[in-house]
Amino acid sequence: MEHSKLRVLISQEQIQTRVRELGAAISADFAGHELTVIGTLKGCFIFMADLVRNIQVPLNVDFIEVSSYGDSTVSSGVVRLDKDFKHPITDRHVLVVEDIIDTGLTLNYLMENILLRRPASARIAALLVKEAKQSLDHPIPYRGFNIDDHFVVGYGMDYRGYFRNLDHVAIMEDDRQPSLF
Ligand code: IMP
């Protein structure tokens, strides 16, 4: 398989090192507590799988699915809830896991939704944050990397459903006419 229009932005090694650091920080902060880790599908699935294996406190996992992009590389500005999570989170410590935060709209929507259910606390872990573009109402205490405003794929993130299986994060250099294979 050839990805001629992809350029490595963050290598597999860099990701694994950073995920271990994030896991250690989360483990220290929640020592003596239990966590509910809520991942935002689909992009979170690889980051979340690696992150929870580096967290040393008792936890359960759940998933929520939201969309704002469709098949585009630009946010539609409207967040839609596609799948809600199952387990009650009232009085539990919640960690929301996002693959990437771009405008921050998805996260603002999610946090509003989660805080209404009265958790003991709700914190955010994001692998990537596009620093320049955020209009965030909430801090991101656990962030992997700040990146410039590129459209990226890999390590769970997609373009039209593809590239999620890359073990690194790559920049899609020309997202007008991508050659998928
Ligand atoms: P936001 O609502 O604009 O912050 O967008 C967040 C969601 O958009 C993420 O969870 C991703 O699913 C998607 N997204 C944003 N930027 C990218 C990107 O560069 N590559 C792939 N997906 C992205």
For 92-128, write each residue's pLDDT tens digit: 999 999 999 998 888 988 999 999 999 999 999 999 9
Which structure tokens are listed for 36? 């509910």
How far is the C-alpha of 103 from the C-alpha of 85, rounded, in Å? 23
Task: For residue 128, report the distance from its CA to the centre of ligand 1, in Å.
Answer: 9
- Which tens digit of pLDDT belongs to each residue from 42-60? 999 999 999 999 999 999 9
- Domain boundary assignment for the chain: 12-148
- Cα torsion 25, 27, 32, 38: sign: positive
Please answer whether residues 64 and 95 qualify as being in contact, where contact means their C-beta atoms are separated by less than 8 angstroms. Answer: no
Choice among 102, 148, 149, 167 that is catalytic: 102
Structure tokens at 88: 């009650």
pLDDT at 148 over 90: yes
Mean pLDDT for all residues in the chain = 89
- List the 169-172 sheet strands across, edge first: 6-10, 169-172, 152-153
Ligand 1 interacting residues, C-beta cut-off 6 A: 40, 43, 68-69, 75, 98-107, 151-153, 157
**Residue % of the chain over a pLDDT of 90:** 69
87: left (phi over 0), alpha (psi -120 to 50) or beta: beta
Among this protein's residues, is 102 annotated catalytic? Answer: yes
Asked whether 163 and 153 are in contact (CB, 8 A), the reply is yes
Best residue among 64, 74, 80, 106 to mutate for probing ligand 1's pocket (most ligand atoms within 8 Å of CB) is 106
What is the value of pTM for the model shown?
Answer: 0.89
CATH entry, 12-148, from 3.40.228.10, 3.40.30.10, 1.10.460.10, 3.40.50.2020:
3.40.50.2020
- Give SS3 for 111: helix
Q: Take atom 9 of ligand 1 and give the residue whose Cα is closest.
A: 100
